[in-house]
Structure 1
């Protein structure tokens, strides 16, 4: 699947390319970007839309050829597998093509260790390929953890509790990626593990942003390609954390998980947090899937600024990807 994104194009779905659209590549104005979407089935389509909208908003006058892929070894339901097979490009097309940038998402963990995941071999092959075949690659959340494990043997560490919420992240090193970034950058994090900053520094990575509560946020390393790592999810929309939280409540009530999920940090307003605390007490005493029908109405805090951090990061990332093409055009 290839989508040609213009700044004024309305994105309705992953296969939106009018047949009559002029697909001719305009030197210096077009970038080719791939998304390797390994997110769980429930988030598969939402992740497509989030990244497409981000790239569209960040593109300015540029045109972007946007290709979707997924690792074939990621376990899928029949419906999600049909969507991937019918709407996504085959992963072999990635290695045959020429990509300016690549975005690789995490996946839902299945095995106790990353290198035991069924998709480990596919993912590490992709990491090795991206080092020399893209100008820059973004590795998101679990994909970031997998990449540093494969590249430098850096092990992620289990957190005592899930890092889940909106966190204030601050720029700690000047870099083109964080140019003109607001202080703080409010970024969604949703993970059970972390990479220690001391381990990254020892291996030669540069930390660009961090949070006092959530730890390392964005870090980078230069190969032939510039690798950018997100421990968080700047691409998340305003309701992404809510969907995850409600999913985890449903899993608790269905006895698919042992512990009741904690509230996302700095996310729901005070009145909603009070209602959810009362619901938690009832759920722990009357644990039954039918209780999901009694969940209260939810309201978010007014200051979460969903998407603002991503707007800055992705605009600067596209400028980095387009710098060589711009220089070539200027030299003519």
Structure 2
């Protein structure tokens, strides 16, 4: 299903926008066609869809974006999530019958010990190979970035000692159109258990664009026929995304679905909230029971997290770059 995104419109669900809209290039610029391959786990499926739509809307400026949602068919879904994908997303087979300016590919919840053993691995690697020559640029986010470099250059991700979870200050490395006019530092959400090392990436020919002293490499790129852009973090996350994940993990701990109590996200809650959460953690370890979730304290975020502001600049630069290519390809008028 196709969605038209404009800067001043509301952001609906895919089902609420007409699939067809005859449109001329009457705004002085080319319409961009962007695809989202949304492979996020069921609880985050709709949120991820909305977050990327809002991010593209914030970055669109005056141009219009024709936006298509897809999901890898081999990603396991609950009946409810499968119904949502089947009824509101385009069929992945249609991807190869259209020309996309840009593609965004999210990670998926891992279910196998190694990435190349995942049930969706074949579908994902076929998508990587297709995107190399059939898009102007593709963004690979979080686990999708790890999977792409594994497939392309056999770069193995490394397990972290603890989950990297929070808002991290990232600095630009050199100059690039993607990071032009980006705030310094860029405050970026990361939520992952693994990483790819900068030394492995540079040795294989990737260019690092941003890095964090605490979180390591953030954005890196490689040029094929398509420019591949890799995010180890989650540029789409809104201000409450990390909070939702943290509360989900507390709930799983209390229900004995995970053994370790989750760490508080880095540089995310204010100091008073962190103190209250430390007291709650002590009680949760002593009285581990799902009912205790009702006693969670009020949560207040730090005032300086600036969630999404850096991503809006990065995506505006990405869309501008795509638009220059698209407009150059238009016939003279």
TM-score (normalizing by structure 1): 0.97
| Structure 1 partner of 2:303 | 302
- CA-based RMSD of the aligned residues comes to 1.3
| Structure 2 partner of 1:14 | 14
Distance in 2, Cα, partners of 1:324 & 1:121: 31
Distance in 2, Cα, partners of 1:59 & 1:93: 25
TM-score (normalizing by structure 2): 0.97
| Structure 2 partner of 1:125 | 126
Measured against aligned partners, the alpha-carbon deviations of 1:21-70 in whole angstroms (never above 9, x if no partner) come to: 84325283200000000001111111011100111111111111000000
Query: Does the 8 A contact of 1:164 with 1:190 survive in 2?
Result: yes
Measured against aligned partners, the alpha-carbon deviations of 1:74-128 in whole angstroms (never above 9, x if no partner) come to: 1111100000000000000011111000000001111111001111111000000
Measured against aligned partners, the alpha-carbon deviations of 1:281-322 in whole angstroms (never above 9, x if no partner) come to: 011111111111111110000000011111111000001111
Query: Does the 8 A contact of 1:29 with 1:61 survive in 2?
Result: no
2:4 aligned with 1:4, yes or no? yes
| Structure 2 partner of 1:89 | 90
The correspondence of residues 271-286 of structure 1 with structure 2, limited to 5 A, is 271-286=272-287
Query: Does the 8 A contact of 2:32 with 2:326 survive in 1?
Result: no
In the TM superposition, residue 18 of structure 1 has moved relative to its aligned partner by 4.5
In the TM superposition, residue 173 of structure 1 has moved relative to its aligned partner by 2.0
In the TM superposition, residue 72 of structure 1 has moved relative to its aligned partner by 0.5
In the TM superposition, residue 331 of structure 1 has moved relative to its aligned partner by 5.3
Query: Does the 8 A contact of 1:5 with 1:65 survive in 2?
Result: yes
Instruction: Give the 3-state SS of the residue equivalent to 2:14 in structure 1.
Output: coil
In the TM superposition, residue 8 of structure 1 has moved relative to its aligned partner by 1.5
The correspondence of residues 118-267 of structure 1 with structure 2, limited to 5 A, is 118-267=119-268
Distance in 2, Cα, partners of 1:322 & 1:113: 37
Distance in 2, Cα, partners of 1:15 & 1:309: 29
Distance in 2, Cα, partners of 1:329 & 1:205: 31
Runs of 5+ in structure 2 lacking a partner? none
Query: Does the 8 A contact of 1:2 with 1:15 survive in 2?
Result: no
Distance in 1, Cα, partners of 2:92 & 2:232: 24
Distance in 2, Cα, partners of 1:258 & 1:227: 37
Distance in 1, Cα, partners of 2:224 & 2:12: 36
| Structure 1 partner of 2:109 | 108
